[in-house]
Structure formats: C-alpha cells, structure tokens
Structure 1
Amino acid sequence: MTKFYEKNYQDRLMEVTPDKDLSGVFEKHADLNHEKLIENYLTDFSTPVGILRKLRIDGRDYVIPMATEEASVIAAANNAAKYLPNIQTVYQTNLRFGQILVIGDFDRLSALYAENKNNWQGIADAAYPSIVKRGGGLKQIHFRQMDGSHFSFDLLIDTQDASGANIVDTIAEALVEELRSQKVDVVAAIVSNLPTTSMTELKTLVSGIDDHTAERIAELSHFSMIDLHRAATDNKGFLNGASAVVMATGNDWRAFEAGAHAYAAIDGSYKALTSWTINSQDQLIGRVKLPVALGIVGGTIDQLPTAQANLKLLHASSANELAKAVVATGLAQNFAALKALVTQGIQKGHMKMQHRAIGEAHE
C-alpha cells in the first residue's frame, strides 16, 4: 500500500478533501517545487513583502525587504528611519554554538577532554571538510559542568556565510561517535539557538525629536528594564521589524526569536533587548545587543527564489552584514513603537493602516 507521503500531489489533494472549491484554492497557490522542502506538501501560505526604503547603517543606505502581515509595521519602520541618521556597529562576533550533552564523573570527563581535544579537532575537520576549505569549521571546544553529573562539550564553529545548523549538527554528531567509543554517556548533540558566540551590537543617535519626547521615550524604555510585562511587549515591537527581515531572507525566524528571548533573560530576569537613554549632551541614544545566527547561502535559502531575490535587493555580502540589517531594522521598529506610545498613542497609526487594509480587501 502506497504511503500518503509517497503519493503524487493530486492523489494527496483528493484524499485530504473532496471539496473541489477548497482543493482548487490549495492547488492555485501551490508550487510543486516546494514538495522537496517539506513532507505531505499541500500549498503555499504567502506573507506580503514590503520595503524599508532607506535605513543607514555604518554610513551606507540599505533597501531592506520585510515579510509581515501586520499592517502598520513597514510604515512605522520607514517613518522611524528618518530619525535615525546612522545606525552604527559596536561589535560583531560570528561563531555558531553547538553542544554535546553528557552524563558522567567530572574527574574522568575533564581528564578525557584535556587528553583528547586536539584529536577531536581532526575528527571535526574530517566531518565537514568543505567548510574547513573555506576557512571555517570547529574553532574551539570547551568543557562545562552544569550540575553534579551533567556536562556539556561546547563547540564553537565558524560556518562562514551559512546559517550553519546542519554544519554544527554534522560536526557534533561525528564527535559523539568518538565519545561513545570511549564509553562516554552521551545524551544528545545539537546546535544551540542561544548562540552567544555570534553577537551583534548596534547603537544609534536620534535626531529630529523634541526634548520632552526624548525624555518620555527614555522613561518608557526604563519600564521595560524593570517590568516583565512591559519587556515582553517592547521585545515584540523589536521583533516585528527584525523577524520580518529574517523571514524575507529565508532564514529561520523561530530560531532567531528563541535566541532573542533567551538572551533577554540571560541574567535571570527578562528584560528588553533595546535600551534608550539620554546622554550627557541631552541626546537620545538607542542600543541593542543580541545573538544573531543567520545565513545568506545554503539550506532552504537556495530553494526559495524570493529569498534569493530579497537578499540581492538588500545587497548583503555576508552573514554579518545581514545580521546588522536585521538588528538595525528591529531597532528602528522599536523606536517607532516607543515614539508612538509617548505621543499620539499606538492605535492611531495602527488602526489607520488596519482600516485601509480591510477597506481594500472588501472593494
């Protein structure tokens, strides 16, 4: 008997629904090239892509594609960009973080680590030679105790311009075989979605707003540092912009957001990712820092023509450059939300865009 996933598209569609109108909708929006991306493929669910027309980062103007269904997001980002004359990079790092999670005795495992880590480097290099040829691969291994019997071998891996999850997992699993051959009790090996070795930090000076508005924004930002409820909403505003760019470029927005939220609570108290403060010259300064592990090649990116086109439009020549664009867009989006909240309120602009979208949909 033929399994469902082995059937051709038409047979699967007929089995799912006898309703010809419904199946017609699914078929109309289907792209059969996507059958190789996921199992039991049915149809495509599209998200509109709009443009942040000009955002200056490190002295260069970027055209940034954003995929979102929320009506006011892109309008707000474009408005915010006018007040942010040049978003600057403070620093970036770009190593992916993998873990081999083991159970055992500290003395035995630490001795094994000290004796074998150089040999493990060779095993890692042999597991993914193509990334090593491009200058990447395993760069460091650390041994870390979590509690009395639980440990992690932390792998710091340079995946070049690929998002790198598959590279990390391949290298980690090769090392698992070696560890198990030495009677180590390995529970699992997997890339971490909190890549604290792949950080992007940006800052920006705000211009064109009055002193009262600047002070109110700084005060509202402070609330997001001391209150969990406000922090969650503040971070959602940041991710409205940042995740829209991640999605538009074919990257894993779920992994990105998981890392962002985890980092927001890295000191044990969930806080905003962004901060807005008044400096000694009475200027409003915005800052943001978070882990960002993205790619411009490989994975599903190579299978999604729209993602490739969006990356070309963005002119991001490296994963680091894409990370800057993502985080800068989030910073702009966050500023737009804070400015609206302390002036006209969030609903005026949002509902204007919502009504326009609904009105056009019913015309």
Structure 2
Amino acid sequence: MTDSTSRFFEKNRKERLDVVEKIAHLTKQERETLESLGGIGFEQADKMVENAIGTFSFPLGIATNFLINKKEYLIPMVIEEPSVIAAASKAAKIARVHGGFTVRNDESYSIGQIQVVNVDVESATKKILGSTKEILSLANSKSNTLSKMGKGAKEVTCKKLGTPVGPMLIVELLIDVGDAMGANVTNTMCEGVAPLVEKITGGKAILKILSNYSTRRMVYGSAVFDKDEVGGEKTVDNIILAYQFAANDEYRAVTHNKGVMNGIIAAANATGQDTRAIEAAAHAYAARTGKYTSLTEWSKDENGNLVGKIALPMSVGIVGGIINVHPTAKVCTKILGIESASELACVLAATGLAQNFSAIRALASEGIQKGHMRLHARNLAAAAGAGPDQIDRIVEQMAKEGNISINRAKELLGQ
C-alpha cells in the first residue's frame, strides 16, 4: 500500500481515486458514489430528516500510511479544517518506524438506564437483583437478532442516587450489541422491561434510555514515535512538557483534546457514526476524576523515543443507523476494510492519537501556524474569488510576504 500511496497529496483527483479503487476493490458504482458531490440527493435527504430543504457537503479526504495492529489502512476523513488529514498521515508515517499503532478494546457493551422513583431504594434493589433472570429474559425477547447471535442483555445492576427531590433507583442493563452502535436496541429493551421493573419495585419508571457514556466500550491505543523522526531529544522533551500542561490545566486540555477529536470525528463522519455520542463520552471520560484532563499520555522510553497512549470510550457500529442508508458512508467503510465495530473503534483511536501527536509536535517546535496557515491561505484565496489556476500563485505570494489574509488575497487577485 505504501508504494501506491506515496506522495498521495501530489496526485490529482483521478489518480487518487484510481489508487483507492484498486486498494479497496471498489465497484464502478462505488467509485461513482465518491465522484458525486455529497453522495445523496434530496429525495434521500428528505427521508433522513424532517423539513429537509437540501444537502450540505464537506470535503472527503484520505489519510495514508496507517499501520494499526500490523494491518494497513486507508482512512477516509470528512472535515473542513485544513492540515488535519496531512498531519494525521505524517504522524502515521513516523509511527511506522516502530511498528505503527497497537490498539485494543473492550467488548461492545451498551448501558441502558431505567430511572425509578417513589421507592425504598435498598428494598427495591434487593428485589430487582433477585429478579435478574426474569428481567434479562424479557429484555432479550425484544431482540431476536442479538439473542440468536449469543449477544443481548447480559447483566442487571442497580445504583442509588440522592437528589434534592428525593432518592432515585437507577436500574442498569448491560447489553452486548455486537457490531451495532446499539442505541435503538438498548432503548427498546429499557422500555420493554420498565413495566416489569415497576411491578417488582412498586415504583414509577420515568426515563428508559441508553447512556452515551460508554465506559464498557473502552479503547486503548499506543505508538512509539522515533526521536530522530520527531525532531530530536529536545523536541521530544518539549512535547512531554506540552502534554503536562494539558494534563494539569483545563483550559489547555480542552484545546489539546479538540486536536484528538479532529482525527476521531473526521473518520467517524466518513463512516456514518454518531459523532455527538462519541464527543460527549470522550469529554465525560476526560473529566472522570472531577477535573478535566488530557485523553492522551506522552512519555519517553529507555531509548529516548516518544511514546503516546490514548484511552477513551468508543461507541461505534458498522450495522444499522446511517451507515445502511448513506452510500458514501458505505463506500468509506469499505475503503477502511474493517470487519467489526471493534476494529472500527481501534482505527478511530489510532487516528485520534496520530492527530494529537502532529498537533502537539507542531506546537512544541515550529508552532501550529506555519503549516496550518499555508493551507488556510488556500481557503482565503478561494473565498476572494480566485480560480483554480490562480490559487497557488496567490498562496505563494501571501506566504512569501507573511501576510495571509482575505484582504491581501483580494489585492493580489486584482493585480
């Protein structure tokens, strides 16, 4: 893969598509889907959301060089921010020197919650736990598919909440949802067992819904970045100092983690994931100790190489949801070559770690703006009205002058 994707950024669109088509074994129709603008027409959009009036497109690019758990990947990324895809590809190339990314994850367990009020919590908890078998049986009757696969509801737990309006019992279902994100089946099971929970406890069930804080779907990744490729020992030390800044200051941590999510959400967008759920869970996990902190860790090994680690909840799926109806999401998933939701979670985590490395490396060395602003200049030139044959010349001149602005782009275009 590395030979055919070498200097990928220098190829034109047709050449890039040729490479992706060959590697991913795309059909003629799948290639045509990528060549279309947005992948869906209005009729499809009108079926997806209410009050539809059109569609809204974002750039779709390919991150190269990724080696994850000894497997090669091309990673589709949907994002409007310049430099993200290039940065992730560069990071992945550096990580390959020491074997790429190593990632593992937990089972695909979704958590469903049933809120019960007007009960004696201690007594109700004993009754619920004593009726576990009956509750699980009823829950699993709501999904023939999961039951046939040996998955489905596996465990019932209870917890007490003390609130200003009185104590509440929260009954939680732990559900193995397999390769699905699992929101619909989790909600269905919670609603299905709620009447039984009310009967057992004598209380009133209010909310019956999944939790997007998917701590039973954790993913853990790591990579070693060669010190010479990083820029030397000084740069490695600066990166570690920059990480410590993020680990100990919430204001820095938010921006630090935004860089992590640049990679994760761009790849999640391309594969039709629930990005809001991913974001919410990640940031809740970052604040799990009561203080918001970094999703990644950076240190040195005995040889002075930079070691990066990432850990976060990751609720994703490759069946159900938008991935079944959006043709571009289907093609992007095929390009990835993934076989399970667990594999997708590993890919997303590696992408997040790669993007975080590139951002923190730039910050700890030449600064973030050097590469970012050059790419941003292309957007400014286009916004000023420059045509394809004029953009490169305007960008070169603005970069030479160190004056990258919409006003300067307009002046150069006028000249």
**TM alignment of 1:240-279, pairs within 5 A:** 240-279=262-301
Task: After the TM superposition, list the runs of 4 or more consecutive aligned residues in structure 1 that deviate by more than 6 angstroms.
Answer: none
Distance 1:90 1:311, change over 3 A: closer
Residue aligning to 1:48: 59
Q: 1:186 aligns with which of 205, 228, 250?
A: 205
Hey, what's the Cα distance between the residues in 2 that align with 1:184 and 1:125? Answer: 23
Residue aligning to 2:14: none
Give, in angstroms, the shift of residue 91 of structure 1: 4.1
**TM alignment of 1:66-85, pairs within 5 A:** 66-85=77-96
Give, in angstroms, the shift of residue 84 of structure 1: 1.1
Q: 2:159 aligns with which of 128, 131, 144?
A: 144
TM-score by length of structure 1 reads: 0.89
**TM alignment of 1:314-325, pairs within 5 A:** 314-325=336-347
Hey, what's the Cα distance between the residues in 2 that align with 1:316 and 1:77? Answer: 19
**TM alignment of 1:327-342, pairs within 5 A:** 327-342=349-364
Percent of aligned pairs with the same residue? 37
Q: 1:195 aligns with which of 204, 214, 217?
A: 214
Hey, what's the Cα distance between the residues in 2 that align with 1:198 and 1:91? Answer: 7
Preserved CA contact (<8 Å) 1:54 1:64: no
Q: 1:165 aligns with which of 183, 204, 210?
A: 183
Q: Which piece of structure 1 moves more, 91-100 or 346-355?
A: 91-100
Give, in angstroms, the shift of residue 282 of structure 1: 2.1
1:277-328 alpha-carbon deviations (Å, 9 max, x no partner)? 1133322110000000100111121010000000000001000000011110
Q: CA RMSD in A?
A: 1.4
Residue aligning to 2:24: none
**1:149 counterpart letter in structure 2:** P
Residue aligning to 1:20: none
Hey, what's the Cα distance between the residues in 2 that align with 1:160 and 1:324? Answer: 15
Hey, what's the Cα distance between the residues in 2 that align with 1:281 and 1:156? Answer: 43
Q: Which piece of structure 1 moves more, 203-212 or 142-151?
A: 142-151
Hey, what's the Cα distance between the residues in 2 that align with 1:38 and 1:310? Answer: 22
Hey, what's the Cα distance between the residues in 2 that align with 1:137 and 1:263? Answer: 25
Q: 2:139 aligns with which of 93, 101, 124?
A: 124
Give, in angstroms, the shift of residue 174 of structure 1: 0.5
Give, in angstroms, the shift of residue 127 of structure 1: 1.1
**1:163 counterpart letter in structure 2:** M
1:14-55 alpha-carbon deviations (Å, 9 max, x no partner)? xxxxxxxxxxxxxxx952122111111111111111000121
For structure 2, the 5+ residue unaligned runs are 1-39, 388-415
Which SS does the other structure have where 1:155 is aligned? strand
Give, in angstroms, the shift of residue 353 of structure 1: 0.4
1:348 aligns with 2:366: no
Which SS does the other structure have where 1:266 is aligned? coil
Give, in angstroms, the shift of residue 247 of structure 1: 0.8
Residue aligning to 1:12: none
**TM alignment of 1:204-215, pairs within 5 A:** 204-207=223-226, 208-209=229-230, 210-215=232-237
1:31 aligns with 2:36: no
Hey, what's the Cα distance between the residues in 2 that align with 1:151 and 1:72? Answer: 48
Residue aligning to 1:102: 116
Give, in angstroms, the shift of residue 166 of structure 1: 0.2
**2:43 counterpart letter in structure 1:** L
TM-score by length of structure 2 reads: 0.78
Hey, what's the Cα distance between the residues in 1 that align with 2:74 and 2:186? Answer: 31
Hey, what's the Cα distance between the residues in 1 that align with 2:91 and 2:47? Answer: 40
Hey, what's the Cα distance between the residues in 2 that align with 1:161 and 1:90? Answer: 16
Give, in angstroms, the shift of residue 90 of structure 1: 4.4
Preserved CA contact (<8 Å) 2:129 2:156: no
Which SS does the other structure have where 2:344 is aligned? helix
1:86-144 alpha-carbon deviations (Å, 9 max, x no partner)? 11024433211111112221232112113211100110111111111122210111111
1:234-293 alpha-carbon deviations (Å, 9 max, x no partner)? 000000010001111011101100000000001111001011111333221100000001
Preserved CA contact (<8 Å) 2:104 2:346: no
1:88 aligns with 2:102: yes
Equivalenced residue count is 335
For structure 1, the 5+ residue unaligned runs are 1-28
Preserved CA contact (<8 Å) 1:66 1:245: yes
Hey, what's the Cα distance between the residues in 2 that align with 1:249 and 1:316? Answer: 11
Residue aligning to 1:24: none
Which SS does the other structure have where 1:41 is aligned? coil
**1:62 counterpart letter in structure 2:** Y
Hey, what's the Cα distance between the residues in 2 that align with 1:326 and 1:107? Answer: 41
